[in-house]
Amino acid sequence: MRIRILLSALFLLASTANIFSFSPNKSARRTLDFYFIDSEGGAATLIITPARESVLIDAGWADVGGRDAKRIQQAMQQAGITAIDHLVATHYHQDHYGGIPDLSQLVTIKHFYDHGKMTAMTEDPRFAERYGAYQAAAKNHTATLKPGDTIKLKTAAGTPPIKILCVAANSAVISGKESKANPECGATTPQEDTSENGRSVALLLSWGGFEFLNLADLTFNISQRLVCPVNRIGEVDLYQMTHHGGNVNNNPLLLESIRPSVSVMVNGPRKGGHPDTIMWLQKTPSFKALYQLHRNLQIPAEQNTATEFIANLDEQPDEGYMITASVDAAKRAFTVTNGRTKESKTFLFK
């Protein structure tokens, strides 16, 4: 009897201890997470959805000894995932899709998306070899994204649905509902553009009132067609500036129309991050912050964004600090963290 009482007491103690040591289930935390991975002037943006699916937009450079693939793998480890569910190759320039063969050697990639098949590209003498390596990594199973297409994603229980919409691809833009004319446009006439940058897949992610726009290297002309004569994008909270923040393709009209609160430049120490673009953005109504993956070393330090918003200050190729963002739809806020300083700032949805 005494033993039974003792056992019961022990059981009670154990289960009570268990109750009190119970911590909130990690999976109950439903955020949408972004990792802007430094590929030294290329692009690689990892998105983890609230249902813990992964979407990678571009995979950095070819011919860098697997550096960018390793950085993507490190970001995946930090995110607690082991495979890429959806990989979008925005266009066939080596700073965007070049790293895919290296990445496919390290991790499983389940679905590939791009703007369509191509047989030649005049500006890349090694196009056949690089495109062949990409197709081999994808085992020739690639899906073509057209404006209006979405990437099928799961909705996490208790959270709003998530949508990734293709707004431009292969030099075409989403038609969408025609609404009232965008007053920013004036008498502009959008031009045709069939450059490879102009063929970039551009994606708009929406989740519970939060909007993220990634234009890859979309050009001035196609950007203009996205917002003129009608604004087909609306306003966004977080914007990955097109073309690494260079001034040729960032269109002030686009910035005035989409009015991003927070922008991220995926620039390199000597690529993109143009002072004109930085100035245009800072003049945009609703501007809250600009993050740069690198300080642009070709201009005076003060023409860059403030140092606290820069992930990599010098030319130290081993650093590769990221910018990350975590979105909480319930709080209608997102928190952006500089990987170098570990400092975070929180911004409210529009």
Q: Residue 183 Cβ, how far from Zn ion at the closest point, in Å? A: 31
Q: Residue 62 Cβ, how far from Zn ion at the closest point, in Å? A: 12
Q: Residue 244 Cβ, how far from Zn ion at the closest point, in Å? A: 6
Q: Residue 39 Cβ, how far from Zn ion at the closest point, in Å? A: 10
CB closer to Zn ion, 42 vs 320: 42
20: Cβ contacts below 8 Å, ≥ 6 apart? none
Q: Residue 95 Cβ, how far from Zn ion at the closest point, in Å? A: 4
Buried b (16+ CB within 10 A) or exposed e, 337-348: bbbbeeeeeebe
Q: Tell me which residues touch Zn ion (CB under 5 A).
A: 95, 217
Partners of 21 in the β-ladder: none
CB closer to Zn ion, 85 vs 95: 95
CB closer to Zn ion, 217 vs 237: 217
CB closer to Zn ion, 38 vs 217: 217
What distance in Å separates the CA atoms of residue 251 and residue 277, rounded to the nearest whole number? 9
CB closer to Zn ion, 32 vs 103: 103
Pair type for strands 262-265 and 323-328: unpaired
